């Protein structure tokens, strides 16, 4: 039995049934007939066994008859963590996948993102994406917004109101030859980033924080990258960007920053690689660059749908893990066409199998390992693993109640199966119909209440 030393908060809810999660040493741990108590502050107060019900009820002062009992086809799992998603791009998700990255940005992305100076349009799209990701089980999201400060603040407000844990970034870019009205001056980018950070922090949202967001090296001057590195350091903030997504991009970065040893070195010189940094993609990073990621504590976000859909490349996850680099999964909407982390789980397994087809000696990822990437791995990548990512006493209760046999759901059960098989079926076949409840910091956020 695990219990909390802090007894200042009363018990708000107690759940009994199957819990599945990952630990730093075990990709999948199944807790059958477990009792999990959540205090009124939304934190896990105790984890015990069903047979300890009477003892725990006396110790923690709750009524055994008020325990929520799961059915045999249900389980709790940690909420999923989307380490890389572009909120404004949700407006055209599922379309515009006929070009490689740089042409795709010029043709589709920048013109759409320029529309987000319209706050009503921004509010509409941002409400849709936060609701959609929550329904799909994303309890934590690391969002790119646009260059517009006020619209980015709207995204933070919506995430707070709907109860999602979120890192929100106002995009910074002082270079853009293709859509010239969609960029800032270096000074504007710095000043507006300072304003965004100050105003978002002043809101004192419990679960929504700013993240310093240079779009990527190609859209930022070195002067701007250096300023953003200083802003992140002075405010002790998270940082997010893109790195080594496709070969053309890598080549152009080398031409634009000839004095840097590598794409990673561009960011490193500007103090943008820290233990609170997450970089999306990384398909073409060298072993030396991965070593630099490990040394600085920076993380990667694996976005398999986007990497395939835009024909960008394939990330060898096994090699990243071998280098002990923190790694999570990202949907990368709209380069990735799905806003569901279940899709990211499936595509991550597919890409690993593609690599095995090409090299039979490749060690294919198991579904248990990908499950960890979608939950605990994501929280580690965002340096939030002391707060969320799995079920440990003292952490926030970020959780999905999954019913594999949900009525009118996509999964048919023909016989009673063990919890590990229930999880595997959900990861491979399930959708939002199987996610009957979503909790963030102990608060039930799905189903939505108007």
Give domain 80-382's CATH architecture. Alpha-Beta Barrel (3.20)
Residues 328, 310: Cα–Cα separation, whole Å: 20
Q: How many other C-beta atoms lie within 10 A of the C-beta of residue 197?
A: 21
Q: Where are the domains of the chain?
A: 11-78+391-446, 80-382
Residues 61, 247: Cα–Cα separation, whole Å: 60
Residue 36, helix vs strand vs coil? strand
Beta bridge partners of 335: none
Cα 231 from chain centroid (whole Å)? 23
What average pLDDT does the segment 408-413 reach? 96
The owner of tokens 């709750």 is: 62
What average pLDDT does the segment 278-292 reach? 98
Task: Read off the tokens for 305.
Answer: 């749908």
Q: What is the 3-state secondary structure (H, E, C) of 324-360?
A: CCEEEECCCCCCCCCCCHHHHHHHHHHHHHHHHHHCC
pLDDT band at 54 (very low <50, low <70, confident <90, very high): very high
Q: What percent of the chain has pLDDT over 70?
A: 98
Q: How many residues does the chain have?
A: 450
Whether the predicted pLDDT of 302 surpasses 80: yes
What pLDDT score was predicted for residue 2? 74
- Sorted by sequence, the CB contacts under 8 Å of residue 67 that are 6+ apart come out as 14, 15, 16, 35, 53
Residues 426, 80: Cα–Cα separation, whole Å: 13
Strand-pair category, 326-329 with 399-403: unpaired
Residue 33 in contact with residue 374, Cβ under 8 Å? no
What pLDDT score was predicted for residue 4? 61
- The string of DSSP codes covering 82-122 is EEEEEGGGGGGTTS--SS-HHHHIIIIIHHHHHGGGSHHHH
Residue 74 in contact with residue 418, Cβ under 8 Å? no
Residue among 85, 96, 62 at smallest CA distance from 136 = 85
140: left (phi over 0), alpha (psi -120 to 50) or beta: beta
pLDDT band at 7 (very low <50, low <70, confident <90, very high): low
Which tens digit of pLDDT belongs to each residue from 417-444? 999 999 999 999 999 999 999 999 999 9
Angle between helices 149-162 and 186-203 (to 10 degrees): 20
What pLDDT score was predicted for residue 5? 56
Residue 248, helix vs strand vs coil? helix
Whether the predicted pLDDT of 1 surpasses 80: no
Burial class (CB in 10 A: 0-12, 13-18, 19+), 431: middle
Which tens digit of pLDDT belongs to each residue from 16-50? 999 999 999 999 999 999 999 999 999 999 999 99
What average pLDDT does the segment 343-350 reach? 98
Kindly report the average pLDDT of the chain as a whole number: 97
Residues 267, 249: Cα–Cα separation, whole Å: 15
Residues 96, 99: Cα–Cα separation, whole Å: 8
CA atoms within 13 A of residue 410's CA, in its CB half-sphere: 12
Query: Does pTM top 0.95 for this prediction?
Result: yes
CATH number of 11-78+391-446: 2.30.40.10
What pLDDT score was predicted for residue 427? 98
The owner of tokens 């009503």 is: 120
Beta bridge partners of 3: 46
């Amino acid at each position: 039995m695990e219990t909390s030393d802090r007894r200042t908060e009363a018990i708000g809810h107690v759940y009994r049934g199957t819990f599945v999660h990952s630990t730093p040493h075990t990709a999948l741990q199944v807790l059958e007939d477990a009792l999990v108590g959540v205090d009124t502050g939304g934190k896990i107060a105790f984890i015990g066994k069903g047979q300890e019900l009477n003892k725990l009820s006396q110790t923690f002062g709750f009524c055994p008859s008020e325990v929520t009992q799961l059915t045999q086809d249900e389980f709790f799992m940690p909420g999923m963590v989307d380490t890389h998603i572009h909120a404004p791009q949700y407006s055209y998700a599922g379309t515009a996948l006929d070009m490689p990255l740089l042409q795709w940005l010029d043709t589709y992305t920048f013109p759409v993102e320029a529309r987000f100076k319209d706050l009503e349009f921004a509010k509409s799209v941002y409400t849709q994406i936060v609701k959609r990701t929550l329904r799909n089980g994303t309890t934590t999201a690391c969002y790119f917004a646009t260059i517009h400060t006020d619209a980015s603040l709207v995204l933070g407000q919506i995430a707070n109101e709907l109860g999602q844990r979120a890192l929100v970034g106002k995009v910074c870019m002082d270079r853009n030859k293709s859509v010239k009205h969609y960029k800032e001056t270096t000074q504007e980018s710095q000043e507006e980033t300072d304003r965004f950070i100050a105003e978002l922090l002043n809101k004192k949202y419990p679960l929504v924080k700013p993240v310093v967001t240079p779009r990527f090296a190609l859209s930022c001057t070195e002067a701007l990258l250096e300023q953003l590195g200083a802003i992140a350091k002075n405010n002790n903030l998270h940082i997010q960007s893109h790195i080594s997504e496709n070969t053309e991009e890598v080549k152009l970065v080398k031409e634009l920053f000839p004095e840097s040893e590598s794409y990673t070195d561009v960011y490193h010189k500007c103090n943008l690689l820290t233990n609170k940094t997450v970089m999306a993609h990384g398909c073409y990073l060298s072993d030396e660059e991965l070593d630099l990621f490990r040394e600085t504590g920076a993380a990667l976000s694996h976005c398999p749908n986007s990497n395939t859909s835009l024909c960008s490349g394939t990330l060898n996850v096994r090699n990243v893990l071998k280098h002990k680099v923190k790694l999570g999964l990202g949907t990368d909407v709209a380069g990735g066409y799905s806003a569901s982390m279940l899709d990211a789980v499936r595509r991550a397994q597919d890409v690993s199998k593609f690599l095995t087809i090409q090299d039979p000696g490749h060690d294919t990822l198991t579904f248990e390992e990908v499950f960890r990437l979608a939950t605990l791995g994501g929280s580690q990548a965002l340096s939030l693993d002391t707060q969320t990512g799995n079920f440990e006493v003292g952490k926030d209760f970020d959780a999905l109640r999954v019913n594999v046999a949900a009525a009118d759901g996509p999964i048919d059960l023909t016989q009673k199966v063990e919890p590990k098989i229930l999880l595997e079926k959900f990861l491979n076949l399930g959708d939002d119909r199987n996610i009957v409840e979503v909790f963030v910091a102990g608060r039930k956020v799905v189903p939505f209440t108007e």
